[in-house]
Amino acid sequence: MPKTATSRYDVAEHLQTPDEMAAYLEACLEESNGDAAFIAKALGDIARAKGMSQVARDAGLSRESLYKALSGERIPGFDTILKIVAALGLKLHAEAAR
């Protein structure tokens, strides 16, 4: 049986428009089950799609700090999350739970 060549899937390669990025974040928020590190990782995926250097500049963070905050291994502060969301050109909103 011949071996099948595979490559690692990177969601950041498929997040090309602001609408796709917003839809991805919305889906991750729904699926996170309260896991803040999961949301941080999702924001990291979006930041990689936009370009980490630019997002770091726009958020007023060093590139290293941005990578650490969005690694999924830490839970960044809410102020950091708000800066990153704004730098990504996204908005958070709330709606009544049903």
Distance, in Å, from the CA atom of 88 to the CA atom of 2, rounded to the nearest integer, reads 43
pLDDT band, residue 47 (cuts 50/70/90): very high
pTM of the model: 0.87
Model pLDDT for residues 57-75, shown as the tens digit of each residue: 999 999 999 999 998 888 8
Q: How many CA atoms lie within 13 A of 97 on its CB side?
A: 1
Dihedral pair phi/psi, residue 29, rounded to 5°? -60, -40
pLDDT band of 18, cuts 50, 70, 90: very high
- Over its C-alpha atoms, the chain yields an Rg (Å, rounded) of 15
Provide the pLDDT for residue 2. 85
